[in-house]
Structure 1
Amino acid sequence: MDSLIGYVHGYSEREARRLGDQADTLSELLHADTAYPAGATVLEAGCGVGAQTVHLVAGSPGVRWVAVDRSAESLAVARARVTERAPGADVRWYEADLYELPFADAEFDHVFVCFVVEHLSNPGRALVELRRVLRPGGTLTLIEGDHGAAFFHPDSAYARAVIDCQARLQAVAGGNALAGRTVGPLLRDAGFAEVSVRVRTVYVDDSRPELMVDFVLDTFTAMIRGAREQAIEAGLMTPSDWDRGIADLRRTAGEGGVFHYAFFEAVGVRPS
């Protein structure tokens, strides 16, 4: 069984670039305190095109990394990205399903999962499998965004509608664009202990013009814009209403605009 019913964002070169831009933009926000001790063996589950991997290996020198994804094409991109940006990093690559990992019990000291469970049809099952390959006392870090945390000025019903369309398409594909709020309960339900949750907030106004471009336009709006054809074909919005919604989202990155979003990070420990 595949871990993901369908990846709503697709596997285009443009999407790979967007994921890389997103990871670069959010690296300090999401990974500033993500560090593992030298000599540890850490599994990155659902590494995709390696967008997070390059930042993880940079923040934890001397760690033995294992990166897993179900897509051979994404793994090839990830390997090339890490080779270019983090030469010498100790990373082993595996094509595998998160529901049935090819690893022994308690093989890893830590597990890292970012922007993955939002695409899973059964995240609880995947997390139980990840707990299996984690040693007792080891940690699992789980990071997700949540479209319900998106609000902006000027407000726009059309902009809110295009975000909702992307969330609905993701639900049809078996995922959950509101996964961020669930990370704590997911870990607890999967049998992890000492679960803690932190909210990482992105607030952007015109005093931060670089972030307006990098996050509001090139990360969030670009992600929503990529669902245009699917939304129109599904009859969720008309082309003109969709284009107005995207234009209104772009306006929030202009003079006087405000944009807010939040990511949720949960860390849990595998009990002895």
Structure 2
Amino acid sequence: METTYVHGYSADEARRLNDQADTLANLLHAGTSYPPGSRVLEIGCGVGAQTAHLVASSPGARLVAIDRSAESLETARRRMPGVEWHQADVFDMPFADEEFDHVFVCFVLEHLRDPSGALAALRRVLKPGGTITVIEGDHASAFFHPDSELARATIAHQIRLQAVAGGNALLGRQLYPLLREAEFEHVAVEPICVYADESRPDLVKGFTRNTFIALFEAAGDEAVAAGLTGRGEWQQGITDLRRIAQPGGTLHYTFFKALATKGNSP
């Protein structure tokens, strides 16, 4: 099934993904490690931003990573030659049934037209008793100071732009029902809140400025071309968003991390 990565594959987007992964690693990857010898599948690995942290936390695991972009995979391969890389789509994976002990999915389902179908495909390649870990964000969970109507409108325009591309920037809140619909068992979803202010300069730089605001800065041309907003309105919204990364600014955002198991039934 055709999918669209609304953020594109530019060098700036690769840097944003790496900033996001490195800044949030202690939060998003806490408690996620796989035993030596286990076979682990990561889908939508991109440039390997999250893969690097999986390698660090599970040095004895056998990691297999797939992505649709050959260019992204080449970047990831140069970075981590010990991982098994495949150019593939989650809906057409070159793997046998029940081939993996664990599956890891981070910031992927939000870009798919059929996240339920993707989870069903992943259940097929997972062994009975194996686990799936899914991490997704939810743009509507963001609130900040100084507040701004135009900044909030900019976020709303990006949410609509992603919907037009076939994705869902609010998918984090849906992880539990999606996993249950795909017949996973023992589903547990944990909200992971990120809060940044000037007392946490690393988070302000790595998350507020280089991850969160950068995402919206990159979407301006597409949002205007799609008729969602005017150039002036978008630019003012971005200007207002940038104030939350300045002294006195704050940002709160919630990610959702789900862990579930494949039962023994077919």
Residue 32 of structure 1: how far off its partner (Å)? 2.2
- Residue in 1 aligned with 2:32? 34
* Partner SS for 2:216: helix
Question: How far apart, in 2, do the equivalents of 1:145 and 1:212 lie?
Answer: 18
Name the aligned partner's letter for residue 11 of structure 2.
E
- Does residue 109 (structure 1) correspond to residue 101 (structure 2)? The answer is yes
- Residue in 1 aligned with 2:188? 196
- Residue in 2 aligned with 1:221? 213
Equivalent residue runs for 1:234-249 within 5 Å: 234-249=226-241
Question: How far apart, in 2, do the equivalents of 1:15 and 1:101 lie?
Answer: 25
Question: How far apart, in 1, do the equivalents of 2:67 and 2:169 lie?
Answer: 20
Residue 210 of structure 1: how far off its partner (Å)? 2.2
- Residue in 1 aligned with 2:92? 100
Question: How far apart, in 2, do the equivalents of 1:218 and 1:168 lie?
Answer: 22
Cα shift readout 1:39-70 (whole Å, capped 9, x = no counterpart) = 10000011111110001100001100110111
Paired residue for 2:60, among 46, 50, 62? 62
Name the aligned partner's letter for residue 58 of structure 2.
S
Cα shift readout 1:9-54 (whole Å, capped 9, x = no counterpart) = 0111111111111111111110121100011000001111111000
Name the aligned partner's letter for residue 161 of structure 2.
L
Question: How far apart, in 1, do the equivalents of 2:231 and 2:199 lie?
Answer: 33
Equivalent residue runs for 1:99-178 within 5 Å: 99-178=91-170
* Partner SS for 1:252: helix
Asked whether the 8 Å contact 2:23–2:202 carries over to 1, the reply is no
Name the aligned partner's letter for residue 99 of structure 2.
E
- Residue in 2 aligned with 1:182? 174
TM-score relative to the length of structure 2: 0.97
Residue 165 of structure 1: how far off its partner (Å)? 1.0
Residue 153 of structure 1: how far off its partner (Å)? 0.8
How many percent of aligned residue pairs carry the same amino acid? 61
Paired residue for 2:222, among 218, 230, 242? 230
Residue 206 of structure 1: how far off its partner (Å)? 1.8
Question: How far apart, in 2, do the equivalents of 1:169 and 1:254 lie?
Answer: 27
Name the aligned partner's letter for residue 108 of structure 1.
F
Question: How far apart, in 2, do the equivalents of 1:22 and 1:60 lie?
Answer: 20
Question: How far apart, in 2, do the equivalents of 1:184 and 1:140 lie?
Answer: 12
Q: How many residues align?
A: 264
TM-score relative to the length of structure 1: 0.95
Residue 245 of structure 1: how far off its partner (Å)? 0.7
Cα shift readout 1:111-164 (whole Å, capped 9, x = no counterpart) = 000000000000101100100000000000000000011000111011011111
Cα shift readout 1:201-256 (whole Å, capped 9, x = no counterpart) = 00111211221111111000001111000111122222121111111111111222
Question: How far apart, in 1, do the equivalents of 2:56 and 2:74 lie?
Answer: 19
Asked whether the 8 Å contact 2:41–2:100 carries over to 1, the reply is yes
Name the aligned partner's letter for residue 15 of structure 1.
E
What stretches of structure 1 move > 6 A for 4+ residues in a row? none
Name the aligned partner's letter for residue 243 of structure 2.
R
Paired residue for 2:49, among 31, 51, 55? 51
* Partner SS for 2:196: strand
Question: How far apart, in 2, do the equivalents of 1:211 and 1:48 lie?
Answer: 23
| RMSD value, Cα | 0.9
Name the aligned partner's letter for residue 33 of structure 1.
G
Paired residue for 1:211, among 203, 208, 212? 203
Stretch of structure 1 that moved more, 54-63 or 69-78: 69-78
